[in-house]
Chains A and B, each alone.
Chain A
Amino acid sequence: MSPRFDRRGDAVLVTLEANEVELLRTIPDEVRGALTDAPSKDDPVYNRLFPSAYLDPTEENAEQEWQELVHPELLQGRLAALELVSATLDRATTKRGRAEVELAPEEVEAWLSVVNDARLTLGTRLGVTEDAESEAIEPSDPEAAAHAVYGWLTWFENDLVETLLG
């Protein structure tokens, strides 16, 4: 799999293999579930996506107030990004078996947001840590496929960021 990103002024032209489009289409639903399903402070995925703003346990009231007032805006922004990713995939055109879509700057931002949330969600479920990130996964590992997707998301995000910086 080899997504390609080409800068076109402020926009980015993305070229994807069919299986990459298929994978990306599944991400909005997966991420939407992680963002909205029964949020709980005991859920490691929820805590990874929405860490506390106040880190001192004595500031519990301030944290609660922050979550009440600031969380809805954060959540709304992330859900809007999911919609934008789905919409941009819908308008992709196919050339020689590959999908192409040109992303405006705000759409690039949405893609980065969604891919990053997907990477954080999957990485937390897999227990990926700084040390484990570079460890090889045996093909026989029952989670090998999920690790491969995590690796692809990391690479995809990295490549898109590098394109923006370059």
Chain B
Amino acid sequence: MSHVDYFRDQSGRAPDGAVHEEDGLFLYAGPHPLPMLVNGAIRVQPGLAAHDVLDRAKEFFRARGRGFSVYGVVGRDDDLIEAADEAGMTSFGDPAPLMVLAGPPPPLEPPSDVRLRRASTPEDVAAAAAVCADAYAVYGMPADVAPACLTPQAMLVPDMAAIVAYDADGPVATASALVTQRVSYVAWVGTMQRAMRRGLGGAVTRAATATALDFGADTTVLLASPMGAPVYRRMGFVDVGRLSSRIAMGAGA
């Protein structure tokens, strides 16, 4: 449920954010209207009827003029995904691996011309946002989403381990890990397209994970992208499930 903890924290800190948790359903509206990732519905009580999840999510997001994502664990929430399909929601890629790493990651140094820095200033946060805007453009994410999500209010908080990698020309990679209840949840891992294929994604993820352990986490959790999954498995992460998502593009569609 670290996925829920992460979005509860981050959406709660967003200026236009909102979180609603009631009767087994977690709804969150983040700092940007993008339906994917930033606005979502998560069934936390598996017995809750699928149509109830969808009806309440539609009502919540219609009031905000936004689309949203609904998430379901493959094997546990198949009825919910089926209901979302029947409701005309859109599939967005294959289910994403949910991964866990107990204990520290193996050492992984960045190239010698790159230095890693824990984000501790608004400038570092802006650098992380610039990196993610560039990196996530590959997946079609609009350029204003990362700067809306990665703000000083959201990132410069005590339990957030955000790392930014810089080379001589500026920021090149970033990863962040939020610690809640001794579990760190890794998010916003990205590498500038100009700096890809240098192992930077692994290096910043490793650094964020290790820093989160210093903050009291003993386990790390993440939702992997197709490109990232082999890198995380190589670091020792293990799959514990797969998360499907379906998107309602229009406002409470």
Contacts and interface: CB of A to CB of B under 8 A. Distances in A.
A46 to B, nearest CB: 11
A54 B75 contact: no
A112 B197 contact: no
Contacts of A65: 46, 76
B74 A53 contact: no
Interface string A32-75: 00000000000000001111111110000000011001111110
Interface centre among A48, A50, A116, A133 (most CB of B within 10 A): A116
A73 B182 contact: no
Interface stretch (A19-27, A89-97, A143-151, A157-165): A157-165
Contact of A51 (B46, B102, B104, B230): B102
B158 interface: no
Nearest to A123: B236
Given A55-B182, A166-B197, A70 B240 contact: yes
A82 to B, nearest CB: 15
A56 B231 contact: no
Contacts of A161: 230-231, 234
Interface centre among B182, B197, B236, B238 (most CB of A within 10 A): B238
Contact of A165 (B76, B181, B197): B197
B183 interface: yes
Interface residues on A, range: 20 to 34
A84 interface: no
A120 interface: yes
A156 to B, nearest CB: 11
B231 A74 contact: no
Interface string B65-105: 00000000111100000000000000000000010101111
Interface string A96-110: 000000000000010
Interface of A: 48-56, 65-66, 69-74, 109, 112-113, 116, 120, 130, 133-134, 157-158, 160-161, 164-166
Interface of B: 1, 46, 73-76, 98, 100, 102-107, 181-183, 196-197, 199, 219, 227, 230-231, 233-234, 236, 238-242
Given A112-B233, A130-B106, A157-B233, 19 more contacts: A51-B240, A54-B1, A55-B183, A66-B73, A66-B241, A70-B73, A70-B241, A74-B239, A116-B234, A120-B236, A120-B238, A130-B104, A130-B107, A134-B107, A161-B231, A164-B230, A165-B199, A165-B231, A166-B197
